[in-house]
Amino acid sequence: MDSSTAGMMLTDALAHPLAWASARAQALGARDWLVLGGILLFQRLCVHIGMWAYCLAVLPGTALHEAMHWVVAALLGAKPTMPNLVPQRTALGWRLGSVRFQAGYLRSLPIALAPVALAPLAFWWATTFLPGAGSGAVYWLHAWLAASAFGASVPSTQDWSVAAPALLAAAVMGVVLWVVL
């Protein structure tokens, strides 16, 4: 694919996201959707096997989740530390990964919610690589990566607590503007 074709595909996806997503979703068969859902279910059930089994099952997603925090923090000049992917027990459970950064409330919001961008990336990955991957190890690797990325797109409790002050401020400003205007 040349750069002009890729540019046209990106422009079309941004101009008509629902039409693009619908067309891409048709590339996946029922088996593909069942495999992706099955992997997500397996990953969630691994927590009952043991924490280390769960950590290994979701490792690609954890790495992508933390990488998204790091990339957005770096782009916003928040001086992020390198992602830590070593699971740590905390008072409230386990922390699978972390990235520390220095930012005020405004810059913290996009950094904290950056993993949400993994959802469309996971969808693109699945619709691009699963249809032609056959049924062997390559297929399962692509399915595992796509499902892990989608599972990791959900902000963690810590992400929400970092984003909460900015979300609250934005909500208050929205209500004030709505009342005033």
CA dist 21 → 2, 74, 93, 143, 147 (Å): 21, 29, 36, 18, 17
pLDDT (0 to 100) of residue 122: 93
Our measurement of the distance from residue 150's CA atom to the centroid of its chain's CA atoms, rounded to an integer in Å, reads 6
Task: Select from 100, 103, 101, 109 the least CA-distant residue to 166.
Answer: 109
Treating both helix axes as pointing N-terminal to C-terminal, what angle do 157-180 and 105-112 enclose, rounded to 10 degrees?
120
Residue 53 to residue 43: CA distance in whole angstroms = 9
- In sequence order, what DSSP letters do the residues of 52-104 get, joined into one string? HHHHHHTHHHHHHHHHHHHHHHHHTT--PPPPB-S-EEETTEEE--B------
Task: Indicate the average pLDDT of the chain.
Answer: 86
Which pair of structure tokens corresponds to residue 177? 């503007």
Q: How large is the average pLDDT for residues 2-26?
A: 72
How confident is the model over 29-44, as a mean pLDDT?
91
**What are 155-178's pLDDT values in tens digits?**
988 888 888 888 888 888 889 999
Q: By C-alpha distance, which of 155, 124, 159, 164 is closest to 142?
A: 124
DSSP 19-39: HHHHHHHTTS-HHHHHHHHHH
Enter the DSSP assignment of 155: P
pLDDT of 135:
79
Rounded to whole angstroms, the Cα distance separating 72 from 146 reads: 21
Return the pLDDT at 13: 64
- The predicted model gives 10-17 an average pLDDT of 70
How far CA 167 is from CA of 76, 99, 109, 171, 173, in Å, comes to 18, 20, 7, 6, 10
Q: Which of 108-117, 128-137, 153-162 is least confident? A: 128-137
Q: What pTM, to 2 d.p., does this model score?
A: 0.81
Higher pLDDT, 7 or 28: 28
Q: Provide the percentage of residues in the chain whose pLDDT is more than 90.
A: 36
What integer is the mean pLDDT of 101-126?
89
Burial degree of 43 (CB within 10 A; 0-12, 13-18, 19+): buried
Higher pLDDT, residue 171 or 3: 171
Q: Give tens-digit pLDDT for 42-99.
A: 999 998 998 888 888 989 999 999 999 999 999 999 899 998 888 888 887 788 888 8
Answer with the residue of higher pLDDT: 132 or 138: 138
